[in-house]
Amino acid sequence: MPTNVLMPQMGESIAEGTIVRWLKKTGEAVDRDEPLFEISTDKVDAEIPSPVGGVLAAIYAQVGETVPVDSVVAVIGADGETVSAPAEVQDERDEVPAAASPGSVPNVSRSSQSRRLSPVVRKLAAEHEIDTAALVGTGGGGRVTKADVLAYVADRRRSGTDHAALPEAAADRRVEPMSAMRRSIARHMVTSRRTSAHVHTVFEADFSGVAALRAARSESAAAGPAPGYLSYIAKAVADALAAMPVVNASVDGDNVVYHDQVNLGIAVALDWGLIVPVIKQAERLSVDEIDAAIIDLATRARSKRLTPEEVRGGTFTITNPGSFGSVFGMPIINQPQSAILCVGAIEKRPVVVEDAVVARLRAFLTLGFDHRLIDGAAADRFLARVVEALEAGGRPASP
């Protein structure tokens, strides 16, 4: 069986790599783990070992080419097997399921997708730095065609995420290529818009109970500083997600994947972008433990000390633009998750309580959800549960 060799992911914020040299020629034998090629990313060169033993059948990325992470750079054939790359590419087509319906996420693995590209399409995709695995193919057997790539490029240009089409610099403006992180965010956001049927619902929560809890906590010096408001919200969300698995689920093709754990992503704004570290198994943690985790992850995110594992595997995300003064937001879902909570500014507002206008500590909570999976009633039940828990002073809502 031929095996694809992929451009490896050398770091969490790294989106692409440049081929520096090939250590084997086409037709040469290579052992498993023997150095096969060298790449360069951000002043770092790396020697990449072969994933399998065999014969280097074809090289797709030439020296000097910069290709996205996970794109196929070469194919290795079995030992003794005479491999002609196009023939083996043809064979792969039988394994691929019938064409995905337009607009749906193709349920085709990355490697088989990339393998079925014609050289023209591959070159075109590389020129425009497109990850063809993210495209829906309209060709035979779901194959990505030249037209698909061109349509995507046109689409990308319209949506303003095409860094390849930068205007020329002039005296009155400055042109800079996007950083790898910026490009990654751009791609992620547009993909999410295209993938999910975004709907938003907004509730208002009264934080007087949480404020009282925090005040009581601050008076007992022995207990340490009180957790932040975000930690109480995260706790309420984790409990509600554990009780309503559909909000913690993902869509995979025509399947729904329910996650046993609540892995809570917390969006952290950075001077140079945005990152979403994940609190694993948040449903098992107390408010204090969540608070410690948020502080730790946010601190390390800002000093670039997160491990790749710590930004993977999220099942739901909380974003907190309220800390910048936003009253409420309409967040984009963090794929492949199905919902995201946006916390608005927590501030004193006039509210009517028993026919009197009083000042209460309030905030808007927006749930952005994927209507492919979550219906409005379920979304509202979920958010109502979060609000109820917060208004009960951070205690979990009754089931």
Partner 1 sequence: MAADLPVLEVRSLGLVPYAAALETQRELVAARQSGAARDQLLLLEHPAVITVGVSGRRHRGHVLASPAQLRDHGIELLDVPRGGDVTFHGPGQLVGYPIIDLKPDRCDVHRYVRDLEEVLIRTVASFGVAAERVAGLTGVWVGDDKLAAIGVRLSRWVTSHGFALNVAPDLDQFSLIVPCGLAGRGVTSLERLTGSVPPRPDLEAVVAAEFARVFNRRIEIRE
Interface ranges with partner 1 (CB under 8 A): 10-14, 18, 20-21, 33, 35, 38-47, 49, 63-64, 179, 272, 304-305, 307-308
Collapsing DSSP to helix, strand or coil, 49 comes out as strand
**Residue 309 burial (C-beta neighbours within 10 Å; 0-12, 13-18, 19+):** exposed
Q: Is 259 a catalytic residue?
A: no
Handedness of CA 344, 346, 352, 353 (dihedral sign): positive
Give the integer Cα–Cα distance in Å for 258 and 250: 7
Q: Residue 135 or residue 275: which is nearer to partner 1 going by CB?
A: 275
CB of 268 vs partner 1, minimal distance in Å: 16
Give the integer Cα–Cα distance in Å for 71 and 5: 8
Give the integer Cα–Cα distance in Å for 213 and 219: 10
C-beta of residue 344 within 8 angstroms of C-beta of residue 329: yes
CB of 177 vs partner 1, minimal distance in Å: 9
Q: Residue 12 or residue 204: which is nearer to partner 1 going by CB?
A: 12
Give, for 87, the enclosing helix (H) or strand (E). Answer: helix 85-92
Q: Between the CA atoms of 169, 170, 171 and 172, what dihedral angle is there, to the nearest 10 degrees? A: -90
Q: Which of 214, 201, 160, 145 is closest to 329 using CA atoms?
A: 201
Q: Is 375 a catalytic residue?
A: yes
Give the integer Cα–Cα distance in Å for 185 and 322: 21
Query: If you ran DSSP here, which 8-state letter would residue 8 be given?
Result: -
CB of 84 vs partner 1, minimal distance in Å: 30
**Residue 324 burial (C-beta neighbours within 10 Å; 0-12, 13-18, 19+):** exposed
CB of 50 vs partner 1, minimal distance in Å: 12
Q: DSSP string spanning 160-171?
A: T--GGGPPPPBT
CB of 47 vs partner 1, minimal distance in Å: 4
Q: Which of 31, 271, 375, 380 is catalytic?
A: 375
Q: Residue 42 or residue 375: which is nearer to partner 1 going by CB?
A: 42
Q: Residue 158 or residue 173: which is nearer to partner 1 going by CB?
A: 173
CB of 134 vs partner 1, minimal distance in Å: 23
Strand-pairing partners, residue 256, are 251
Q: Residue 213 or residue 311: which is nearer to partner 1 going by CB?
A: 311
CB of 382 vs partner 1, minimal distance in Å: 35
Q: Residue 63 or residue 215: which is nearer to partner 1 going by CB?
A: 63
Query: If you ran DSSP here, which 8-state letter would residue 45 be given?
Result: E
Give the integer Cα–Cα distance in Å for 368 and 325: 19
C-beta of residue 260 within 8 angstroms of C-beta of residue 283: no
| Active site amino acids | 371, 375
